[in-house]
Amino acid sequence: MDSPKNATNSLTNSLTIRIIKEKIFLISIAVFTAAAIIPLFHIIYSVIVRGIPALSIEFLLGSLPAPNDGLGGIGPAIAGTFVLVFLSSLIGLPIAILAGIYSAEYPNSILGRLTKTLLQIMLEFPTILVGVFVMQVVVIPMGSYSALAGAFALAIVMMPYVAISTEEALKEIPFTYREAGFSLGLSRFKVVFHILMKMARKGILTGVLIGMAKVAGETAPLLFSAGGSSRIYFAGLDKPVGAIPLLIYNLIQQPYENYHQIAWGAALVLMLIFLGIFIPIRLKIKEVKL
């Protein structure tokens, strides 16, 4: 049988080993966390430092200059980005919200399960393949890249984010509210659109803004659909249209120094647009209450 002194020493050693393991665990967590966030801060720092010298009113409103002829501006690309986000929202949001409602209201039906599975697949689907698909069904039949094709591609990318957010927002509402609506003799349509949608509007709005922020920075699907236009503002639905991600992608491949500076400035503008959407989203998520 161990003496009291040996038992005390054994307990002390066990406690020391536990403290050492805890410190190693905390240090490991801190190192991996730093490894995860340092690249993000490096990207933000690089974009701000290299992009700020290019910013000016002329840069925001002007058009792309000739090679080695100053910074000019990215006005057509900024306008094209907002046009594409607006049109894609016009096409995608109604479909996505209805799909989310159906998936939430009929989760056990064959069509409901199929809708949910399809939304999950679309969420992980490579966006460049969306661009190839739109090129086949819209660009080739029309004979030209166009704003309509770009908006259609972005709408496909946007829909799963909005639909799944809508479904989750509706599922968070306690079933008693549905029962109360049905007990008053209301139809399912009125219960969903007059009661549940109003209660879930913050969650749905969050999904809408996330979807818009997502497509505002998309490049791959636009390569095969929008075409790009860096010197002409919006010319029509059936004409090519510019976008900031497309402009950056094209400029960084050029050998001219002024084009590289413009690309950094455009990256900063795109980041500000993204943060302008993302920060209100985070603030609104904290306010979501049922």
Q: Residue 197 CB: number of other CB atoms within 10 A?
A: 17
Q: How far apart are CA 44 and CA 49, in angstroms?
A: 9
Cβ atoms within 10 Å, residue 255 = 8
Burial 208-239 (b: 16+ CB within 10 A, else e): bbbbbbbbbbbbbbbbbbbbbbbeeebeeeee
Instruction: Tell me what pLDDT residue 2 has.
Output: 56
**Number of helices followed by number of strands (H, E) in the chain:** 14, 0
d(CA 157, CA 183): 39
**Is the Cα dihedral 35, 36, 41, 46 positive or negative?**
positive
Does residue 285 sit in helix, strand or coil? helix
- Residue 189, pLDDT score: 87
d(CA 12, CA 18): 10
- Domain 59-284 falls in which CATH fold? MetI-like fold (1.10.3720)
Closest Cα partner for 88 from 268, 269, 243? 243
Please calculate the CA angle 167-172-173 and round it to the nearest 5 degrees: 105
pLDDT of residue 100: 92
Q: Where are the beta strands (DSSP E) in 59-187?
A: none
Tokens of 104: 């939430």
Print pLDDT tens along the chain (290 aa): 556 667 777 777 778 888 888 889 999 999 998 888 898 889 889 999 999 998 888 889 888 888 888 888 898 999 999 999 999 999 999 999 999 999 988 888 888 889 888 888 888 888 899 999 999 999 999 988 999 999 999 999 999 999 999 999 998 888 888 888 888 888 888 888 888 888 888 888 888 888 888 888 888 899 899 887 778 888 888 888 889 999 999 998 888 888 999 999 999 999 898 888 777 766 766 554 54
pLDDT of residue 84: 93
Whole-number Å distance between alpha carbons of 235 and 212: 23
- Please tell me the predicted confidence (pLDDT) of residue 181: 85
pLDDT at 266: 92
Position 288 scores a pLDDT of 47
